[in-house]
């Protein structure tokens, strides 16, 4: 590949990864074109983008960005996955597809970068066990509403009991 072509490809990779802070690297070597296309479609349904890139060109394109640590130590062509609702949901989807050995047997999560920090394959699997943003919000809302509902029940309980007793007494007089 000539120097000019490498520069063009590097600029294209920079353009694609512009604004991307976190990504997962996946090994897809050995997958045929139909399987790869099916995989891309499945990821696109979850708003996840995947593209395959030569790691030396990716290293050159991400130099000085938060994605640069992801390509340290990577070898051969790698697929870069990014997008989704948040990083945890992206990782959960990639790990789910990695575990699905029958359908995508050559799809293996090899690493990631999160907040400028490199993660290995074990780190990716560990992050996949974290709660996603949606789960975190629901936990937080539950924690906020818990004391309020307890207070409400404590305040309304005696009043409802008194109301019930008055109603019972009034029915007895008729």
30-59 residue pLDDT tens: 888 888 888 889 889 989 999 888 888 888
Cβ within 8 Å of residue 76, ≥6 positions away: 27, 29, 55
d(CA 79, CA 23): 10
Q: What is the DSSP letter of 155?
A: H
Say how far apart CA 112 and CA 72 lie, in whole Å.
11
Per residue in 123-167, pLDDT (tens digit) is 888 888 888 878 888 888 888 888 877 777 777 778 777 778 888
What is the value of pTM for the model shown? 0.72
Q: Count H helices, E strands: the chain?
A: 6, 5
What is the rounded CA–CA span in Å between residue 139 and residue 105? 35
Tokens (6 digits) for 97: 């597809």
In whole angstroms, give the CA distance from residue 164 to residue 46. Answer: 52
């Amino acid at each position: 590949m000539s120097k000019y072509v490498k520069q063009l490809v590097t600029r294209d990779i920079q353009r694609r990864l512009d604004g991307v802070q976190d990504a997962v690297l996946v090994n897809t070597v050995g997958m045929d074109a139909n399987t790869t296309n099916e995989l891309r479609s499945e990821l696109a349904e979850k708003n996840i983008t995947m593209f395959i890139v030569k790691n030396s060109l990716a290293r050159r394109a991400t130099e000085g960005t938060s994605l640069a640590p992801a390509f340290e130590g990577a070898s051969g062509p790698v697929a870069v996955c990014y997008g989704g609702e948040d990083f945890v949901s992206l990782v959960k989807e990639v790990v789910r597809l990695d575990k699905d050995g029958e359908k995508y047997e050559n799809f293996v999560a090899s690493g990631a970068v999160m907040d400028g920090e490199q993660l290995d394959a074990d780190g990716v699997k560990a992050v996949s066990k974290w709660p996603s943003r949606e789960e975190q919000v629901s936990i937080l809302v539950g924690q906020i509403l818990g004391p309020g509902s307890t207070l409400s029940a404590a305040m309304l309980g005696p009043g409802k009991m008194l109301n019930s007793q008055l109603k019972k007494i009034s029915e007895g007089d008729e």
